[in-house]
Amino acid sequence: MPSLNITSEIAGQVWKIQAAVGQSVTTGESVMIMEAMKMEIPIEAPRAGVIMEISVLEGETIKEGQIVARLEV
């Protein structure tokens, strides 16, 4: 099955990881929440699929465009 990278649209800090490896997610479902500019910003699944990998840890600082998870679609 093809996979799709989930990336961060903005630099910030991972506040809460909400999905687990092997979990099915729907389009638009929040995979994790990051904190940037004193706001909580969800990172959402761009398509329905299964989370195959989570590439970051809670508390980690991430860059704009960084891959944070991989989704099998």
Phi, psi of 2 (to 5 degrees): -70, 155
The owner of tokens 């990998």 is: 53
For residue 13, what are the domain limits? 3-72
- Asked if pLDDT for residue 20 goes beyond 80, the answer is yes
The owner of tokens 């989704």 is: 71
* Across 2-28, average pLDDT: 98
Q: What is the pLDDT of residues 30-73, one digit of tens each?
A: 999 999 999 999 999 999 999 999 999 999 999 999 999 999 99
Cβ burial 18-49 (10 Å sphere, 16+ → b, else e): ebeeeeebeeeeebbbbebeeeebebebbeeb
pLDDT, position 3: 95
- Asked if pLDDT for residue 1 goes beyond 80, the answer is no
Q: What is the CATH number of the domain that holds 10?
A: 2.40.50.100
Domain count, the chain: 1
- Asked if pLDDT for residue 25 goes beyond 90, the answer is yes
